[in-house]
Amino acid sequence: MAGGLITIAQFRDLPEAGLAKSRLESAGITCFLDNEFTIGANWLYSNALGGVKLNVPEENAEEAKAILEETTESMASEASEESEEHLEDSACPVCGATEIETKNYTRKFAALTLLISLPLLLFWKRYGCKSCGHRWK
């Protein structure tokens, strides 16, 4: 009965991983995030570490995956509601393009801080270059 932990999902960003974790936990599934604290301490390392892995007990894997699929869909629609402002006065530090998008995770962070009690910054804005895909804070 007692199986090991298996990784059912991998996230590049801690907010997404935390949301998925909270969804699973609210459904009664115990889960663990790998790299959580390392990435929380320094976001720049998240890519180097391969993101945040979401692990669940083997016996809950199928159920957890089903929940995550719903989560992904709802997160996708939520993401489309997020404001994307064009910053005239910003340029990509890599390629110099001014086609910049911003994502404001303030709302997600506020929820996450409550849900997983991590000392996260409450205000976090991320920039992404539409030209080369480079992302930075």
Q: Which residues bind Zn ion (CB under 5 A)?
A: 92, 94-95, 97, 129, 131-132, 134
**Cα(103)–Cα(75) distance, rounded to whole angstroms?**
14
CB closer to Zn ion, 8 vs 92: 92
CB of 130 to Zn ion, least distance (A): 8
CB closer to Zn ion, 66 vs 97: 97
CB closer to Zn ion, 22 vs 131: 131
User: Are the C-beta atoms of residues 122 and 114 closer than 8 Å to each other?
Assistant: no
CB of 86 to Zn ion, least distance (A): 14
CB of 27 to Zn ion, least distance (A): 39
Question: Could you count the other beta carbons within 10 Å of the beta carbon of residue 96?
Answer: 10
Nearest to 101 by CA among 86, 116, 114, 89: 86
CB of 76 to Zn ion, least distance (A): 24
Within 8 A by CB and 6+ apart from 66, the residues are none
CB closer to Zn ion, 122 vs 132: 132
The secondary element (H helix, E strand) that includes residue 101 is strand 100-104
